[in-house]
Amino acid sequence: MPGITREEVAHLARLARLELKPEELDHFAGQLDDIIGAVARVSEVADQDVPPTSHPLPLTNVMRADEVRPSLTPEQALSGAPAQEQQRFKVPQILGEEQ
């Protein structure tokens, strides 16, 4: 299997908008080649009788059921807010967004 070249790593870096030094190109080329080789080995081991899984152990949902419980009123929740508007917390405008 041909190895990953510096040019291919440089191309990937340009696509990802990463600036890499020349020594990093060589370093990452070796690492990517190792990763591709490991994936190829896993592909060889996986067979038709092995079902695809996302986790090695069976998982079940352990969350509790939703139930209505007493909570704060809007006035209580906003009682400590430094600023409020229309029963909501008022926060400073960010990123120059329009209101």
pTM, rounded to two decimals: 0.44
Q: What is the pLDDT along the chain (99 residues), one digit of tens a residue?
A: 458 899 999 999 999 999 999 999 999 999 999 999 998 888 777 677 777 778 888 878 888 888 999 999 999 999 999 999 999 999 988 887 665
Domain count, the chain: 1
> Does any domain span residue 19?
yes
> Does any domain span residue 31?
yes
- Return the bridge partners of 89, or none: 84
> Does any domain span residue 14?
yes
φ/ψ (deg, to 5) at 11: -65, -45
> Does any domain span residue 35?
yes
Angle at 23 between CA 19 and CA 26, to 5 degrees: 100
The enclosing domain of 29 has a CATH number of 1.10.20
- Enclosing domain of residue 15: 6-45
